[in-house]
Amino acid sequence: MDWGNILELSLRELIGVQAIVFALAAIGINVQFGYTGLLNFGQAAFAAVGGYGIAVIVTTYDMSFWLGLVVGIVGAIVLALLLGIPTLRLRADYLAIVTIAASEIVRLVGRSAWGRDVFGGSDGITGFSNAFYDLNPFTEPFEFGPFQFRERVLWVLVVGWVLVAVCTLVVWLLMRSPWGRVLKGIREDEDAVRSLGKNVYAYKMQSLVLGGVIGALAGMVYSLFQGAMQPDVYATNFTFFAYAILILGGAATVFGPVLGAAIVWFAFQFIDLALRGAIQQEYIPSWLMDANDTGAVRFMLTGIVLVLLLVFRPQGILGDRREIALDAR
């Protein structure tokens, strides 16, 4: 096996588009769950709304790309309000149930036959990313050591990581402010915060909206990179990937979601390529596993690592046990 090539391809995933998308999704969940204690299991719905905002406005209604960005963000805000108004006064599990249902509703509406003229049905929508790539200042591929990036990919990477940096900075500043300290207080004991005269309901709503908007940015980046808005990409496993990344990096930490996203996608690529190389060189017998099994096996191995992490370091890589920990014991 060519370990150098395997390592090179895997290192590309550290800064790849998948890492960007799930870092943004996990940052949004970090605001909601890590800092506020809100169980949002519908981050995929916010990402889908962001992607559809651009795709529908540009392709279906032949309007401005910039208007599509605004519609995607406003759509995420409206979705957060619709989910939060009836549930945030109740126990946390009600929000979890409603958001996971909303995630599936958004996906099924997007792929429905009756909405095909607007949302494209199960085939999705294409042809809306040209305006984004027309802004691309890069005219030739970029080489850095062994890595080479095409112009379009480089443009997505630059925009994506700038968004990650801005969102990370915003979260860092907010959590150091009095507003952020109220969120942490709500996570620990919302009755105590309420007794101090704070409007817990309003703070929860603000957290849900902020995290949802960041999730919508993840959907926008991914749909623009793919050049297509396909609803089945935003199934519930999208949200669970984001949670796994957050848990790995450390909930209630500023850089935890970014680190977790980079490590997860590096591990996925490295395990997949290593297994395929071992099968090709017959280090792994064909009766035990073939190339078609590598996708499932890499998820199994990653899952085992996450379980061990929950047992032996429940606060994640960067997390502080005094701040927050997910206890699996």
CATH number, domain 3-327, options 1.10.3470, 1.10.8, 1.10.30, 1.10.357: 1.10.3470
Q: How confident is the model at residue 216 (pLDDT cuts 50, 70, 90)?
A: very high
Question: Domain limits of the chain?
Answer: 3-327
Which residue has better confidence, 315 or 130?
Answer: 130
Query: What's residue 327's pLDDT?
Result: 46
Beta strand 228-229 with 125-126: parallel, antiparallel or unpaired? antiparallel
pLDDT digits (tens, 9 = 90+) for 67-116: 999 999 999 999 999 999 999 988 888 999 999 999 999 999 999 999 99
Q: What phi and psi values does residue 125 have, to the nearest 5 degrees? A: -125, 140
Please answer whether residues 125 and 119 qualify as being in contact, where contact means their C-beta atoms are separated by less than 8 angstroms: yes
Q: How confident is the model at residue 146 (pLDDT cuts 50, 70, 90)?
A: confident
Q: Which of 49-53, 218-222, 321-325 has the lowest mean pLDDT?
A: 321-325
Strand segments, DSSP code E, in 52-149 are 125-126, 142-144, 147-149
Q: Which of 11-20, 204-213, 316-325 has the lowest mean pLDDT?
A: 316-325
Q: How confident is the model at residue 151 (pLDDT cuts 50, 70, 90)?
A: very high
What is the distance between the alpha carbons of residues 163 and 156, in angstroms, rounded to a whole number?
10
Q: How confident is the model at residue 243 (pLDDT cuts 50, 70, 90)?
A: very high
Query: What's residue 50's pLDDT?
Result: 97
Which residue has better confidence, 121 or 291?
Answer: 121
pLDDT digits (tens, 9 = 90+) for 18-72: 999 999 999 999 999 999 999 999 999 999 999 999 999 999 999 999 999 999 9
Which residue has better confidence, 240 or 143?
Answer: 240
Q: How confident is the model at residue 8 (pLDDT cuts 50, 70, 90)?
A: confident
Which residue has better confidence, 295 or 215?
Answer: 215
| Mean model confidence pLDDT for the chain | 92
244 has a pLDDT exceeding 80: yes
What are 142's strand-pairing partners? 149
- Helix segments in 135-150, DSSP class H: none
pLDDT above 90 coverage of the chain, percent: 72
248 has a pLDDT exceeding 70: yes
Tell me which DSSP letter residue 77 carries. Answer: H
Query: What's residue 324's pLDDT?
Result: 58
What is the distance between the alpha carbons of residues 217 and 264, in angstroms, rounded to a whole number?
20
Short-list 119, 103, 110, CA closest to 29: 103
